[in-house]
Structure 1
Amino acid sequence: MGVVRRVGITLVGVLACAVTVTHLAYRQSLSGRTSVGVRFNEQLREANEQRSRADRAEELAQEALQLVKQLRKQKEAAEAELHKARAPARVRPPSPGPRRRAETPPDGNLTLCFSLEVSECVAPELQFRTPTRVHLVKPDSPQSGWRFQHLVRMGFSTHPAIIPSPLVEADFVLYMPVSTREPPTGVPATKLVVLDEGDGAGVYGKVKEHAYLVYLKRSWVTKRDGVYTGTGRRYKRHYYPMAYSVSDSYFDSKSTTVRRPLDVVCSNRPTDRQPTRARVVKWIADFLDKHENYEGIAGEVNAAGRKEINKAYFAAMREAKIVVTCNPSHWEGDFRTFEALASGALVFVDEMYVPHPHPFVHEKHLIVYDNSDPDDFERKLLYYLERPREARSIAINGLRHALKYHRAVSRMDYILRSAHEIASGGHGTPYTFTASQIKFDVNATTQVPPVVDIAHPSMNLQHIDWKLNVGRTKVPPPLSQGDLEDLVLRNRETRRRRRLGGPAAASPQHDRGLHGGRRHRRALLFSRRRPLSFRALPPW
Structure 2
Amino acid sequence: MRSINVVFLCNLGSRFPLMIIEGLLKIKNVKVDVSHTFYYLGKPILKNTPFEELKEKLLSCDYIFRSDNQHFVNRKKYDQFIDENKLWKKCVIIDFADSYYIRDKKNYKNCLIYFKRSWLMGCKRKTPPKRKKAFPIQYAILEKYITSIKNYNSKKKYNILYISSKRLKKRMHDFNKGGVYKVLYERFLNSLNEFNSRTINTMRKDIRKRFELKTRRFKTYYELLRSNIPNSLIGANTGGSHMDIFYPANENNKWIEYMKLLKKAKIIFTACPWNHDGDSRTWEAMSSGSLVFMDNTLIPTHPFKDSKHVFYYDASSRKSIKEAIKKAKYYLMPENESERRKIAEKGKEYALKYHMSKNRIKYVFDCIEKFRS
Taking structure 1 as the reference length, the TM-score comes to 0.49
| Aligned residue in 1 for 2:325 | 378
The yes-or-no answer on 1:308 pairing with 2:244 is yes
CA distance in 1, matches of 2:322, 2:132: 43
CA distance in 1, matches of 2:266, 2:288: 10
| Aligned residue in 2 for 1:240 | 135
Cα deviation, residue 157, structure 1: 2.1
Q: Report the more deviating stretch, 334-343 or 374-383.
A: 374-383
| Aligned residue in 1 for 2:221 | 281
Higher strand proportion, which one?
2
CA distance in 2, matches of 1:209, 1:190: 11
| Aligned residue in 2 for 1:409 | 358
The yes-or-no answer on 1:231 pairing with 2:128 is yes
Gaps of 5+ in 1: 1-128, 426-540
Cα deviation, residue 229, structure 1: 6.0
| Conserved? CA contact 2:163–2:270, under 8 Å | yes
CA distance in 2, matches of 1:187, 1:398: 45
Which one of 112, 116, 119 corresponds to residue 217 of structure 1? 116
The structure number with the bigger radius of gyration is: 1
Number of residue pairs aligned between Structure 1 and Structure 2: 283
What secondary structure does 1:368 align onto? strand
The yes-or-no answer on 1:170 pairing with 2:61 is yes
CA distance in 1, matches of 2:329, 2:152: 23
The yes-or-no answer on 1:322 pairing with 2:262 is no
Cα deviation, residue 417, structure 1: 2.1
% identical aligned pairs = 24
The one-letter code of the counterpart of 1:314 is: M
Cα deviation, residue 189, structure 1: 4.2
| Conserved? CA contact 1:260–1:320, under 8 Å | yes
CA distance in 2, matches of 1:134, 1:208: 18
The one-letter code of the counterpart of 2:163 is: S
For each residue in 1:31-68, what CA deviation from the matched residue of structure 2 results, as whole angstroms up to 9, or x when unmatched? xxxxxxxxxxxxxxxxxxxxxxxxxxxxxxxxxxxxxx
| Aligned residue in 2 for 1:180 | 72
CA distance in 2, matches of 1:217, 1:415: 11
| Aligned residue in 2 for 1:446 | none
The one-letter code of the counterpart of 1:308 is: D
The one-letter code of the counterpart of 1:286 is: R
| Conserved? CA contact 1:301–1:316, under 8 Å | no
| Aligned residue in 1 for 2:280 | 335
| Aligned residue in 2 for 1:157 | 25
For each residue in 1:93-122, what CA deviation from the matched residue of structure 2 results, as whole angstroms up to 9, or x when unmatched? xxxxxxxxxxxxxxxxxxxxxxxxxxxxxx
CA distance in 2, matches of 1:363, 1:187: 50
Higher relative contact order (CA 8 A, sep 6+): 2
Taking structure 2 as the reference length, the TM-score comes to 0.70
Q: Rate the CA distance shift 1:410–1:382 in 2: closer, same or farther, 3 A.
A: same
CA distance in 2, matches of 1:327, 1:375: 17
The one-letter code of the counterpart of 1:163 is: K
Higher helix proportion, which one?
2
What secondary structure does 2:274 align onto? coil
Q: Rate the CA distance shift 1:254–1:355 in 2: closer, same or farther, 3 A.
A: closer
| Aligned residue in 2 for 1:266 | 162
| Conserved? CA contact 2:267–2:290, under 8 Å | yes
Q: Report the more deviating stretch, 256-265 or 384-393.
A: 256-265
| Aligned residue in 1 for 2:183 | none
| Conserved? CA contact 1:201–1:231, under 8 Å | no
1:140-539 pair list within 5 angstroms:
144-164=12-32, 166-177=57-68, 178-181=70-73, 182=75, 183=79, 184-185=82-83, 186-205=85-104, 207-223=106-122, 226-228=123-125, 231=128, 236-252=131-147, 254=150, 257-269=153-165, 270-271=168-169, 272=171, 275-287=215-227, 289=228, 291=229, 294-309=230-245, 310-352=255-297, 354-371=298-315, 372=317, 373=319, 374-386=321-333, 387-423=336-372, 425=373
For each residue in 1:246-302, what CA deviation from the matched residue of structure 2 results, as whole angstroms up to 9, or x when unmatched? 112222463575321211110123354873212212222222x2x4xx311001334
Gaps of 5+ in 2: 34-56, 172-210, 246-254
What secondary structure does 1:300 align onto? strand
